[in-house]
Amino acid sequence: MAKIVLDTLRHAYMPNPTQDSDWALKQLDLEWEDGGAYALLGPSGCGKTTLLSIISGLLRPTHGRVFFDGQDVTDLTPEQRHIAQVFQFPVVYDTMTVYDNLAFPLRNRGVDEKHVDQRVREIAGMIDLTHMLDNRAAGLTADGKQKISLGRGLVRSDVNAIMFDEPLTVIDPHLKWQLRSKLKELHQRVRTTMIYVTHDQTEALTFADKVVVMNQGEVVQIGTPVDLFERPQHTFVGHFIGSPGMNVLPCEVADGRPHVAGIAVQAGGSGNLGSASGKLEVGVRPEFVRFAEAGDTGGLPARVVKVSDAGRFRIVEAEAAETRIKLLVPEGGDIPQEQAHLLFDPDHTAVYRDGWIVA
């Protein structure tokens, strides 16, 4: 097990990167605590798989170093780094039995058979494969095969970290949940650093203690699932996480305060915004928008255009000054016909300049 540090990492797949878009990874400085459960979350093509391959040693970064417990491992192979990885499509050695698959990494390292047998049986028990140890691996279902891939990482006692590259892609939906909670449980038991790459926010938020959100080759936020939800550092995070995503409304500044469509909006902690340079936006999650009731003052005048039922709450779309704002109304809550006023919860409303939150 090890603490992983990434120092000014950059990577490009082409030989001579010139412009910004040539870089698959723009610039990264990260620290991964020993024994943590991390998720790398981002849309397809954001560079998360590239980053994973750099950490595991399958790819050498164009620039920057990788450290495991202070040791520079940038030029070491995955084997020398003691990394295990579970791939998107299950990789098993078809001609071997489940038992031999699990024993393979140990036998390659010259571990004696008695110890191999003991480890394999122990791990097989953990991942519920004991009853099929003698089966051919080729005959297993996709989730069984993914368990074998994981098991091959777990049997080794020297593993620094286990990487998961979208491991649930080919798993049936009803088994996804099972496998996910199994993973969580295993992490709590073995306490190995685990890094889980996915584009699915539910997978990331339920698995990880800390989530690293990436977009276009950059890390936009690192935080606990709660941080990401309550205080998105970037409008991208607000958009990407949560369903529906955060409302992002263009605004301008007057008297040092944000105004949406000419109406002043309270945003907690933004203080005096001063001069209005850059593109300014106000971000607020649908969970923190409500209709003004009798006794409330002010609010953004809006017109209700669409209501859709999502079970325990309803998603209302309202139109205010050419932009659409979504808000959640709990079951039984009133929805005004046509004209209404919208109020934002100041503690959960933030101002963003060029996408980034204004401190």
Partner 1 sequence: MNKTHDNKAWFFVLPVVALVAFNAVIPLMTVVNYSVQETFGDNVFFWAGVMWFEQVLQSERFHDALFRQLAFTFTILLIEVPLGVAIALTMPKKGPWVPVCLVLMALPLLIPWNVVGAMWNIFALPDIGLLGRSLNALGFDYNFTRQPGDAWFTLILMDVWHWTSLVVLLAYAGLVSIPDAYYQAAKIDGAKPFAVFRYIQLPKMKRVLTIAVLLRFMDSFMIYTELSVLTGGGPGNSTTLLSIDLVKIALGQFDLGPAAAMSLIYFLIILALSWVFYTLMMRNEQQ
Nearer to partner 1, 57 or 225 (CB): 57
If the CB atoms of residues 91 and 315 are measured against partner 1, the closer one turns out to be 91
CB of 95 to partner 1, least distance (A): 5
Strand partners, 30: 6
Would you say 195 or 237 has its CB closer to partner 1? 195
Shortest distance, position 94 Cβ to partner 1, whole Å? 5
- Closest approach, Cβ 87 to partner 1, in A, equals 4
List, in order, residues 6 or more apart from 314 with CB less than 8 Å away. 307, 308, 328, 329, 331, 333, 335
What 3-state class would DSSP assign to 136?
strand
CA atoms within 13 A on the CB side of 80: 10
Q: Is 214 exposed, middle or buried (0-12, 13-18, 19+ CB in 10 A)?
A: buried
Alpha helices in 130-216 (DSSP H): 142-154, 173-190, 201-207
CB 254 within 8 A of CB 290: no
Binding interface with partner 1 (CB under 8 A): 56, 58, 77-79, 83-85, 87-89, 91, 93-96, 104-105, 108-109, 136, 149, 152-153
DSSP-derived letter for residue 285 is -
Residue nearer to partner 1 on the CB measure, 167 or 232? 167
- Neighbouring residues of 20: CB distance < 8 A, sequence distance ≥ 6: 26
Distance of CA 187 to the CA centre of its chain: 17
Q: How far is the CB of 53 from partner 1 (least distance, A)?
A: 8
Distance in angstroms (rounded) separating the CA atoms of residues 279 and 106: 56
Residues in the chain: 359
Nearer to partner 1, 94 or 172 (CB): 94
To partner 1, the closest distance from the beta carbon of 170 in angstroms equals 12
- The least CB distance from residue 78 to partner 1, in Å, is 5
The nearer residue to partner 1, 13 or 89, going by C-beta atoms, is 89
Measured from the CB atom, the residue of 51 and 328 that comes closer to partner 1 is 51
Q: Nearer to partner 1 by C-beta: 149 or 247?
A: 149
Nearer to partner 1, 1 or 96 (CB): 96
Which residues 6+ apart lie within 8 Å of 177 measured at CB?
none
Amino acid at 222: I
For the bound state, the minimum distance from the C-beta of residue 210 to partner 1, rounded and expressed in Å, comes to 24
Q: Are 201 and 237 in contact (CB under 8 A)?
A: no
Edge-to-edge strands, sheet with 161-165: 83-86, 161-165, 193-198, 37-41, 210-215, 218-223
> Minimum distance from CB of 163 to partner 1 (Å)?
9
Find the shortest distance in angstroms from Cβ 167 to partner 1. 11
Residues 6+ apart with CB under 8 A from 43: 199, 215, 240
